[in-house]
Amino acid sequence: MPNKYLTDISNNVDLSLNAIIMDGAIYKTYCQDYCYLNTKLTLFVMKLVNHYRSQLVISKFINKHVIYLILLDYKTSTKQILCKIGYTKNFNERDSSLCTEYKCNNKLVCIREVNDVTDEQNLHDTIQKNYPNLVFNIQLKKISKQEIYIMHPKIIDEFYGANIQLRNQLYIEKEKTKQMKERTKQLLIIEKIIANGYSIKDINSMFKLL
């Protein structure tokens, strides 16, 4: 069942950065207090969510391997504010299937490019090790969902703080470095040739013969 309370609040949240107060008290708040019965924390979470959503450019992630963090509009008996972290190669398609799977609406909070599903699993391992009290078990059709968490600022910290080095970017950097070394080598050769009394015209002729 959709949690109408979340929808009502999210439609009436102040989006200004001044409204987002990332102080120690918020971070030290017990995870069980992050529920819809706590109006102050609910408003804080929605301001935080809308702040990150305002910076998203979804078009950058089309047909890319990504991990995402969504706020689940999922109703529980304890009324915790829940989020889910997942991996996909097609976010738009996955976003639609999540609504069907959990039978609720959701809000995308964060998204970032990764190499593959291994990066997602490493992130889950880190969160579940460092913040086991933020793990929230949901059973759907007798299947336990292992990717659900109580929506706490620490989850976003871990999401963006994960050290993920994209292999394609590393390849590009290596190629750039290789080209720079080759260019430097050529310049050194040119300097030596000039030192031996050859002109730029002579050098150009030599390189044409190579």
For 154, the domain range is 4-163
In degrees and rounded to multiples of 5, residue 82 shows phi and psi of -110, 150
**182 shares a domain with 155:** no
Amino acid at 150: I
- 41 and 120 share a domain? yes
Number of domains comprising the chain = 2
Which residues fall within 8 angstroms of residue 51, CB to CB, at 6 or more apart?
15, 17, 20
Q: What is the pLDDT of residue 129?
A: 93
Q: Are 33 and 41 in contact (CB under 8 A)?
A: yes
Residue 57 and residue 125 in one domain: yes
Q: What is the pLDDT of residue 192?
A: 67
**What's 54's DSSP letter?**
T
Residues 190, 128 within the same domain: no
**Is there a single domain that holds both residue 128 and residue 193?**
no
Which residues of the chain fall below pLDDT 50?
1-23, 209-210
Residue 73 sits in the same domain as residue 140: yes
Asked whether residue 144 falls in the same domain as residue 187, the answer is no
**Strands laid side by side in the 106-113 sheet:** 106-113, 66-72, 82-88, 148-150
| Maximum C-alpha span of the chain | 86
Residues 179 and 80 placed together within one structural domain of the fold = no
pLDDT given at position 144? 83
For the packed helices 117-130 and 153-161, what is the interaxial angle rounded to 10 degrees? 140
Which CA distances in Å does 98 have to 93, 180, 202, 207? Answer: 9, 46, 67, 60
Phi, psi of 143 (to 5 degrees): -110, 125
pLDDT at residue 194, rounded to an integer? 63
Do 97 and 180 fall within a single domain?
no
Instruction: Tell me, yes or no, whether 128 and 87 share the same domain.
Output: yes
Examine the domain organization and report whether 105 and 11 are in the same domain. Answer: yes
Total residue count of the chain as it appears in this document: 210
* pLDDT confidence of residue 91: 85
Same domain, 9 and 103: yes
pTM over 0.75: no
